[in-house]
Amino acid sequence: MGSRWGPQGRAGRRRMPFLLLLSLFCPALSEPIRYTIPEELARGSLVGNLAKDLGLSVPDLPTRNLRVSTEKKFFTVNTENGDLLVSDRIDREQICGKKSTCVLEFEMVAEKPLNFFHITVVIQDVNDNPPTFSRNITELEISELTLTGATFALESAQDSDVGLNSLQHYYLSPDPHFSLIQKENLDGSRYPELVVKAPLDREEQSCHHLVLTAVDGGEPARSCTTQIRVVVADANDNPPVFAQDMYRVSVQENLPVGSSVLRVMATDLDEGINAEITYAFINIGKEVRQLFKLDSKTGELTTGGGLDFEERESYTIGVEAKDGGHHTAHCKIQIDILDENDNAPEITLDSESKHIQEDAELGTVVALIKTHDRDSGLNGETLCQLHGNFPFKIVQDTKNTYKLVTDGALDREQTPEYNITITATDRGKPPLSSKRSVTFNVADVNDNAPVFFQASYMVPVAENNPPGASIAQVSASDPDLGPNGHVSYSIVASDLEPRALSSYVSVSAQSGVVFAQRAFDHEQLRAFELTLQARDQGSPALSANVSLRVLVGDRNDNAPRVLYPTLGPDGSALFDTVPRAAQPGYLVTKVVAVDADSGHNAWLSYHVLQASEPGLFSLGLRTGEVRTARALGDRDCARQRLLVAVRDGGQPPLSATATLHLIFADSLQEALPDFSDRAEPSDPQAELQFYLVVALALISVLFLLAVILAVALSLRRSSSSTRWSCFQTSAVCSKTAPEVFPNYCEGTLPYSYNLCAASHSSKTEFKFLNINPEHAPPQDLLCNEASWFESTSNDNPKMTSESVNLQQI
């Protein structure tokens, strides 16, 4: 099991209560959780209880969805107990190579709330690799003149392990002529050198067989051996000499293959073949041999492969110079790789959902961002940014982790989707960057009330409309989605009676069409107003109101009504008297009519259909006033009859007729005897029909019937003059009581004429009175004989006939 915080585990456990309290107030722990485990642990091995170390409750683990946020996952989390387990083979040599410390860093992501937890796992080396020599047999040629104490470099063994598990010691099999010393390179690696401890004599022994053993420091220790065959060569008394024992050079990574790194040079004082020097690598591994090439003649070192600072920062190479004899010299080349900004940052995103509520509060965490740059120094420092105008911002959490949070109000109706590009840029020269795009959809909330297309509606509807007909349509829009944008309509208020509202109009909840439930009557209802409401289906629902005013238009559906002249209460005909001396233009009477319609439909005109004496009277076209057109002649009859038609201005026009009886007399007593003997006048309509029949007969019988017609007409004219003598004495009082209805307020003005006469009066007088409406008595003023008879000083009873002109109310 791995240990948390390594050597500081006990101190870390003392700080756990504080960390648990801190986690309640901080979005993420700034200090990573640290574990230490050996490499090559079996899958499923326990690393540590992550839930306990993070201060998370075990029952909350399924809802927190604790998981590892990395592409290469060596670890996994048991969601039942919070244990961090090994999920893949961990080979320290494969992951970290020759690095002295191997650390795996990754982040754990928890949801609800979304948060980062930084985890560090130190991988300890185990002794799973033995030292190895590249060759089983090494042949070494040494001159017999070699002095005691001379050293010869031997091939070093390679061990992939590090630390104590790496190669620690070399051992040489016992030999009286040779011994072994062990030296270290600058990077800490060890290599052996063979020391001549006794003079060599080729003639005595030309070949020596030695065994070199390399042993690491693991428990248990691992080792390997190689055979060393020492051939004693003939004398060559001047060995080669390098100009430097150590060559040091720095080269840029990504150097092109074949580029020259440096040149080593050795000299030999000998001449001829003994001075010919060849160069070769010594004590280097196979990997280094592939990366570098050494010219055996010139000593020039060139690159044979690509150099990568991120894989290895430096190389130590051994070079041997050998002359034509058997003398050698050795030097070391230290090659330091300089980092270049050749790795763009990598971006990793982690988010709970791709949908954001449009009413999300400022600072809501939308996604977690992690950046990683394999370069070092400034080349590996990154800056994460957003490009564009978005209601989001990036907040740095730790060195390489960030949070994408909301920084403004979201409105789905304006922007339903955000395609965000996140850019990570390092600080190298030139800087490198990488981009990662993510799309977030804004989820709708009911934040928009319906809006009517018009501020108010006014609809004209002609009266007598068919019930159930559509009279108007209101429409509202709601930019929200789904139920939040589905609008229904209703009537919420009206100036009609609440009980009568449903019998007048209704509205379709889906379409907003307003239907008339009955036929409207302009004379009863000129206009009415409705308040319509558009309501969406959101929660809570939003609504808007609009007013709809319905104007009921008039149609010519009411004929004019004649208020004067009318028949008396007993059915007797009324008459008007005209002074015999009346001059032309004298106002005789006035035909009064009203029309319940309005406008042109109530614009009345008056026409004479039939007159006893044409040209004697004139009729006002618009006023209905009957005036004398000329003075009464001696040959004119004292009794006159006018048939008047009243027409309205509608299309088609409607009309009514009225008959006026006029008597030329200077007093009422003079007119009464003649009128009482007069027979009841015939019906004007029947006379017209009779004339029509006679006219048709005249056409058929031509001249004969024309003569007969002339005789008949002369007889008819003489008989009509005698009919005016019929007057009923019982018609003492004539009363016309006009009724003024509210629906006549826009029609013609009603008038009332009253005629009173007494049989014993020798004189009749007419008086025109103007009565103010507020002083008018509620009962009829006329036909009240007690109020209208006056006594005179000459004891002659006098009856006053008054004509009263009533003003419109």
Q: Give pLDDT tens digits for 51-81.
A: 888 888 888 888 888 888 776 678 888 888 8
Residue % of the chain over a pLDDT of 70: 80
Check residue 415 and report its DSSP letter: -
Distance of CA 419 to the CA centre of its chain: 15
Query: Confidence class of residue 751 from pLDDT cuts 50, 70 and 90?
Result: very low
- Look at residue 23 in the predicted model and tell me its pLDDT: 40
Dig out the tokens for 684 from the structure: 């004007």
Instruction: Determine the pLDDT at residue 683.
Output: 56
Averaged over 130-135, what is the pLDDT? 90
Provide the token pair at 31. Answer: 């200090």
Q: Is residue 434 within a helix (H) or strand (E), and if so which, with residue range?
A: strand 433-443
Residue 356 neighbours by CB under 8 Å, 6+ apart: 364, 366, 406, 410, 440, 441, 442, 443
**Peptide linkage before 174 cis (omega within 30 of 0):** no
Confidence of residue 469 (pLDDT cuts 50, 70, 90): very high
- 449 near 495, Cβ under 8 Å? no
Query: What is the average pLDDT across 773-785?
Result: 34
CA distances from 749 to 414, 563, 591, 744, 754 (A): 62, 10, 11, 8, 17
d(CA 264, CA 297): 11
Q: What pLDDT was estimated at residue 791?
A: 30
Res. 728 pLDDT band, cuts 50 70 90: very low
- For residue 569, the model assigns a pLDDT of 67
Task: Categorize the per-residue pLDDT at 743 as very low, low, confident or very high, splitting at 50, 70 and 90.
Answer: very low
- Round the average pLDDT of the chain to a whole number and report it: 79
| Predicted local confidence at residue 734, as pLDDT | 35
- 102, 122 in Cβ contact below 8 A? yes
pLDDT at 685: 60
Range of lowest pLDDT (318-332, 585-599, 736-750): 736-750
How confident is the model over 668-689, as a mean pLDDT? 59
Task: Note if the pTM is more than 0.85.
Answer: no
Sheet holding 798-806, edge to edge: 764-771, 798-806, 789-790
pLDDT at 741: 36
Q: What is the pLDDT of residue 804?
A: 28
Strands 151-153 and 346-350: unpaired
C-alpha 382/C-alpha 361 separation (Å) is 29
Cβ atoms of 105 and 120 within 8 Å: the answer is yes
Query: Is the pLDDT at 310 greater than 80, yes or no?
Result: yes
R_g (Cα) of the chain, nearest Å: 64
Secondary structure (3-state) at 75: strand
Burial status of residue 593 (CB atoms within 10 A of its CB: 0-12, 13-18, 19 or more): buried
With a pLDDT cut of 90, the percent of the chain lying above it is 33
pLDDT at 671: 65
* DSSP for 169-222, written as a single string: EEEE---SSEEEEEEE-TTS-EEEEEEE-S---TTT-SEEEEEEEEEE--SS--
Q: What does the pLDDT average to over 542-558?
A: 92
* pLDDT at residue 706, rounded to an integer: 76
User: What's the one-letter identity of residue 640?
Assistant: Q
Rounded to the nearest 5°, which phi and psi values hold at 380? -100, -5
Check whether the bond before 565 is cis (ω within 30° of 0).
yes
Residue 558: pLDDT above 80? yes
Question: How do residues 388-427 score in pLDDT, each as one tens digit?
Answer: 888 999 998 888 899 999 999 888 888 899 998 999 999 8
Distance separating alpha carbons of residues 232 and 279, to the nearest angstrom:
21
